Amino acid sequence: MARYTRSLKVTAPADYLQPLLVSTLQSCNFETIYTTDDYLMARETPGEIPFPKLVTVEVLIDNSTTSHDETHLNFVIKNEELPLQANNHCYQMYDRVSRALEDNEHWELVESVAGLEAS
């Protein structure tokens, strides 16, 4: 299973954070399949990619450390594909999502930590 993580701290109005996340993920070809106040799950839109390679994004919104509109977000981007190559489909989607998060004009990126793990 390929699995990539990213931790961010962003400055954005709390009321708009989840819609901004949904919109950002949609721009990367993901559809939201589950949301709560502190969690969001999205799946890559099926179509051209074989089912085992479809990527899932899980976002944990850490409301316990939110202050002055700064919110910690923890992303897990994964699929069932064995990461036999460094530039596999899951990594490509991780890179696409990472760039979309960094370039988002609706929030200020305060801190970003990337983690890569292949299992």
Give the tens place of pLDDT for each residue, 36-50: 989 999 999 888 888
Instruction: Provide the pLDDT for residue 117.
Output: 58
Q: Is 107 exposed, middle or buried (0-12, 13-18, 19+ CB in 10 A)?
A: buried
- pLDDT-derived band at 34, boundaries 50, 70, 90: very high
Instruction: Provide the pLDDT for residue 76.
Output: 95
Domain parsing of the chain, residue ranges: 2-118
- Mean pLDDT, rounded, of the chain: 88
- pLDDT-derived band at 54, boundaries 50, 70, 90: very high
Q: Which CATH number fits domain 2-118: 2.60.120.10, 2.60.40.1170, 3.30.530.20, 3.30.9.90?
A: 3.30.530.20
pTM assigned to the model: 0.88
Q: Please check the confidence at residue 63 and state whether its pLDDT lies above 80.
A: no
